Structure 1
Amino acid sequence: MCPPAHFRVAYCINPWMDPRKPVDPAIALFQWEDLRDRYRALGHTVEILDPEPGLPDMVFAANGATVVDGRVLGAKFANPERAAEAPAHLAWFRARAVGFADIREPEHVNEAEGDFAVTSSWLLAGQGFRSSPLAHDEAQEFFGRPVISLELTDPRYYHLDTALAVLDDAADEIMYYPGAFSPGSRQVLARLFPDALLATAEDAAVFGLNAVSDGLHVLLPREAAGLAAALRERGYEPLGVDMTEFHKAGGSVKCCTMELRPPAA
């Protein structure tokens, strides 16, 4: 995670961003610290990346790299406003000799966990607004995992992590909003994940799918009440979080969280 020391809406690179609607820095910090503390209370380790001046979106740590089995594929941002975030993330990994031995700078545009979602069987990969489909081939070759390309068609859901979340990676269980995807991608998701939890348009619109699950606890925006109820019915424990300041920039729980997946035992 990266503290929101410099977080603000300084430009517009997605439909949610409006510089005329300023962020309250104090509230943003309180919300971010609450999310961090919830992870720790659940027994998770939280590593901190120091924020850098001039990079207001660096708080969205999910976009900095993708880590699978301890291997790190860096990001290459589509928008120049965020380009300098990529080397900052890779420098953090390179400074840690233990656990991250294979670190790669990408050739093609990918916005990391914004558009990559990991299950035990698949690497789900979004395209259409940010990440290049060429990055999907690159990720498959690097991680040695089959990549499933999914086309995003609604600009409000410009990253895969705004339209789909992994609930249980070991069981290949996900939740997603069908309306964010092309017809063909909806068919692929229905075939691969016939028991997936389908979110409503109302829950998707409040970033309900920009969530993080540890296989039991699901941290998601508190406004997604319908999704929370559906998760309870499936045996999960939803934990509503207030991330409204980050919604102003088009992000929420998952956007603020990069998952560090260690090598398999």
Structure 2
Amino acid sequence: MITTSPSEFQHAYAALAPLPHAAATARAAYLVAPADFSLAAASARDNRYMDMNLSVDPRLALAQHAALAQALRADCPVITFPGDPATPDAVFPNNVFATAPGRLIVGRMRHAIRRREATRADIREFFGNVLGYDEIDLSGRDDLVAELTGSLIIDRARGVGYCGLSERCDMAGAQAMHKAFGLRLTYCFELAETEYHTNVVLALLASRAVIIAADGFRDPAVPQAIARAYGDRAIWLSPAQKQAFAGNAITLSGDRAWMSARAAASLTAGQIAALSGHGFAIGAVDLGEIEKAGGSLRCCVGEIY
């Protein structure tokens, strides 16, 4: 079922029991290292978190990325694929490749410079030949835009998706992802005009709590409906905290929420206490150089289910 109605979503969600044996967090993760890291002007056209006037240090970006991979290994196995100088800003693979149990989904990116990433044979072969996953390839379709887990936040324990519609994902893309991920329910909504991806305004923590930036949604009823679905176990972000990427968080185990050092520093003592009360410590990694490209920690992490 796909719905755009807050009330219909709440009614449908209430009728869903958790899926038996479904894991709320991934069994492993993968990253793509920066190579000759730089900012892509095409991406900046609809990513308001980028500032093309900033200079970047490729060596610092590489060092921060390596530190991220090492830190995440505290919670799950992590694989790092080498970067490609032909795609110097390709450090956010979760938009291009994503998984469901036994399946690799390849997304259809909006910008041509990022569509190159979907052609990487090594990543496709790793999932197909090494892990034996079936491949669902949306990248060649010109009738949709679907930037995977940038646009679609998934409650893996229940098979529920939260899909923000924007220039990076249209309704046709949402429908294709609903089918590809095998979801039972997808709630589609429009993001605020200034937003490009859902994963900077909404984070789902191990299927039991949420981080929400309310100003990232066009209809204020949408974030309220999502919060109610999780028993109001919601951490509400200010616009400044959203800009610091506090909404770009991920859980790779049941007891830790990962975000960038900048994001973690923006949280209040009350928000940190609330996360602790929901069972989450905070893991933080300095990604200041990578964040100049308009994404943060969650964007860097591809999940392997």
| TM-score by shorter chain over 0.5 | yes
Give the whole-Å Cα distance in 2 for the aligned partners of 1:43 and 1:185: 31
User: Counterpart of 2:61?
Assistant: 28
CA apart distance, 1:100: 4.1
1:31-50 → structure 2 map (5 Å cutoff): 31-40=64-73, 42-50=74-82
1:17-166 → structure 2 map (5 Å cutoff): 17-40=50-73, 42-88=74-120, 91-96=122-127, 97-106=129-138, 107=141, 108-119=144-155, 120-121=157-158, 122-145=160-183, 146-155=185-194, 157-166=195-204
CA apart distance, 1:85: 0.9
CA apart distance, 1:25: 1.6
**For the Cα contact (< 8 Å) 1:176–1:196, is it kept in 2?**
no
Q: Kindly provide the CA deviation profile for residues 51-106 of structure 1, in whole angstroms up to 9, marking residues without a partner as x.
A: 11221221112112221113121111111221101122x65133442434211111
What is the SS of the residue equivalent to 1:240?
A: strand
Shift in CA distance, 50/3, structure 1 to aligned 2, threshold 3 Å: same
Task: Give the structure with higher Rg (CA).
Answer: 2
Aligned residues: 256
Match of 1:252 among 279, 288, 296: 296
Q: Which amino acid aligns with 1:16?
A: Y
The ranges of structure 1 where at least 4 consecutive aligned residues each deviate by more than 3 angstroms after the TM superposition are 227-230
1:206-225 → structure 2 map (5 Å cutoff): 206-213=244-251, 214-222=253-261, 223-225=265-267
Q: Kindly provide the CA deviation profile for residues 116-170 of structure 1, in whole angstroms up to 9, marking residues without a partner as x.
A: 2221220222212311111111122223212221321142x3111111112113x
Q: Which amino acid aligns with 2:284?
A: G
Q: Kindly provide the CA deviation profile for residues 186-215 of structure 1, in whole angstroms up to 9, marking residues without a partner as x.
A: 343244334232322232120011112122
Give the whole-Å Cα distance in 1 for the aligned partners of 2:300 and 2:130: 24
What is the SS of the residue equivalent to 2:88?
A: coil
Which has the larger displacement, 6-15 or 200-209? Answer: 6-15
Identity of aligned residues (%): 26
Structure 2 gap segments, 5+ residues each: 1-30
Give the whole-Å Cα distance in 1 for the aligned partners of 2:193 and 2:260: 20
Q: Kindly provide the CA deviation profile for residues 2-54 of structure 1, in whole angstroms up to 9, marking residues without a partner as x.
A: 111222114123112233211112221221111111011x1411112221122
What is the SS of the residue equivalent to 2:210?
A: strand
Q: Which amino acid aligns with 1:38?
A: A
**For the Cα contact (< 8 Å) 2:212–2:223, is it kept in 1?**
no
Shift in CA distance, 203/124, structure 1 to aligned 2, threshold 3 Å: same
What is the SS of the residue equivalent to 1:124?
A: strand
What is the SS of the residue equivalent to 1:59?
A: coil
User: Counterpart of 2:21?
Assistant: none
TM-score, reference length from structure 2: 0.78
Give the whole-Å Cα distance in 1 for the aligned partners of 2:272 and 2:53: 32
TM-score, reference length from structure 1: 0.88
Higher percent of residues as strand: 2
Q: Which amino acid aligns with 2:279?
A: G
Structure 1 gap segments, 5+ residues each: none
Give the whole-Å Cα distance in 1 for the aligned partners of 2:63 and 2:133: 34
Q: Which amino acid aligns with 1:128?
A: S
User: Counterpart of 1:238?
Assistant: 282
Say what the alpha-carbon RMSD is for the aligned residues: 1.9
